[in-house]
Amino acid sequence: MSRVVKKRQADPKVVQYVWSAIEVIRNQKQIANMDRISKYLSRVYGMHPKDTARQLVLAVKDGLVVETLTVGCKGSKAGIEQEGYWLPGDEMDWEAESHDWYCFECHLPGDVLECDGCFRVYHLRCVSEDHRPRDTTSHWQCGICRGSKRKNLNKQEMTTYLKFILGRMKERAVDLHKRGKESKQPMYRRLIHTLLDVDNIQENISEGKYKSFEEFRADAQLIVHNTAILHGVNSDQTEIARLLYNDTCHELNELMLCRHCFYLSNARPDNWFCYPCSPTHELVWARMKGFGYWPAKVMQREGSQVDVRFFGHQHQRAWIPSDNIQEITVNVQQLQVKRSLGWKKACDELELHQRFLREGRTWKGKLEEKHDRSDRHERQEERQEEAESSISSTSNEQSKGNQEPKAKKSRRSQVAEPKEEEPEPEMEAVSSSQEIPTAVPHQPERMSVSTQTKKSGSPSSSSSPAPRMVHRGTQTVTEVSCQNMCHDKYTKIFSDVKEMMKAENKRETERVLKEALDKVRNVLSFWTDIWLKDTPFPSRKPPLLVEKGGNCSKLSTVVVLTVASGDGGREEAGGEQSSVQHAG
């Protein structure tokens, strides 16, 4: 039965101020009376004494502060009874409360309307006209309970999608996670009815407790509710929690808009934007202000605005006026676009998407791939069973037709015995993976031999009891011819390598000799220049290069430099000189 009930009246943020004042005053071995609490709140938090007195009275009524009469034991008020305030003890079972104490929409106290399906409460003014109860006798459920009855997807798909959203939530919830430990203290449990943080949401996702997206959205809103109660409605921590909730709502809206796009944009496989969705998106040319026409997918339409996502590197989203939208069939030359490198890449991605559409190619997730693999496995097992049954039936028929006993052979080499008056047919088994057909009279020879196959003669004989089998493999050659071919082949290779090495050695020798001759010429030229410069012209004589040995030196293979007086410095090389010059 839905009716407005009176819950707590004190502001939860001011209650925490009062708790801190009582704790400080009690630690100073003093009585926490109205005067001391008012001065402390005025000095630390800037509260007016009248507001402090009013909130303190409401906190006592809510059971969040305990009021007692205490007799002073020292000072000017020794022996005088005075009011003292204490922190609440464990005399009240806070977990026995079935509903929250603060409005789930504005997070403030007051007279609230309890939901019959969950723990949430709302101010009557915070509920929309459509969701307000018609009378006080009918059952009433909040919008979250109504939306959670709609089942969206199965448990596995729900877990996969919500894990992507949880990753975004963790980025925002770093600061909230640091301050969330305070809410687990006993005093804060008197303010927070249902504890929840991002870690609890992760556990719920892993255990598959969410049956709809509305339940997940409600838990994100519960984080905002608890944060606003602890830190205040306008605090920085509450603002962070609101951003987290807004991001979660945005991700859920994107998921409801197109779950294929949502999954691919988070999983990011190769060419993820090119895979068609189900249903497929409309392809258009869209133009933003200050840019040219680019290929894009239409995500949704609202009035004269079109939500598109562009092909290209970053796959950006934008709301484009319908006047700046052209059909994809329009000729590119009519659009007068600037064919930049990014535009060409976007068009290449568009062509790949269109090719996937023509081929009917779609992205298959892990669940669909697993289902397809199981189907393929079942079909393969059925085909194997059919093949085995056909083979067994064929073997039974053959065993019935053969009256004479046969030697035990393998299944691949079993053949039927021909009649004696008919010529012997020749049969060939090309490889071990192929079945050998049974011999049939007056049937042409079956042969499947690749290149470099040497066929051996097999004259038929009527006296043989069974047909002769010639087993051939691919590239079957006699052993002698194979050895000869290998010998000739490698002999030619070795001879070619030998010739190449000889040519290389010859070139290297010529290069070394040339370098040595160049060095000799340079040395001779150097010493010739020195001799011509230092020796006077009349006394110039050609130098003799001698080879010393004992008391005399023998000239051998010397170079005689003759200076002609007529042409001024012409150098001439001589041969071997047989004269002997004594040393000393």
Amino acid at 553: S
Share of the chain above pLDDT 90, in %: 29
pLDDT tens for 43-57 read 999 999 999 999 999
Has residue 6 got a pLDDT over 70? Answer: yes
Q: CA distances (Å), 289 to each of 105, 284, 537, in order?
A: 39, 16, 94
- β-partners of residue 84 are 68
pLDDT range class, residue 529, cuts 50, 70, 90: confident
pLDDT tens for 442-481 read 444 444 444 444 444 444 444 444 444 444 444 444 455 5
Tokens of 236: 């920085």
pLDDT tens for 265-311 read 888 888 889 999 988 999 999 998 888 899 999 999 998 999 999 99
Has residue 137 got a pLDDT over 80? Answer: no
275 in Cβ contact with 362 (< 8 Å): yes
pLDDT tens for 356-384 read 998 888 877 654 555 455 556 556 766 77
Residues 576-580 have a mean pLDDT of 38
pLDDT tens for 296-308 read 999 999 989 999 9
Count of CB atoms within 10 A of residue 49's CB? 14
Has residue 510 got a pLDDT over 90? Answer: yes
3-state secondary structure of 329: coil
Share of the chain above pLDDT 70, in %: 65
Q: Does the reported pTM lie above 0.85?
A: no
3-state secondary structure of 306: strand
Q: CA distances (Å), 43 to each of 10, 93, 496, in order?
A: 21, 34, 103
Predicted confidence at residue 52, as pLDDT, reads: 92
Tokens of 531: 């001799």
Predicted confidence at residue 289, as pLDDT, reads: 86
Element (H, E) at 318: strand 317-321
Mention every residue, 6+ apart, whose C-beta is less than 8 A from residue 574: 558, 559, 560, 562
Nearest to 201 by CA among 157, 235, 244: 244
3-state secondary structure of 372: helix
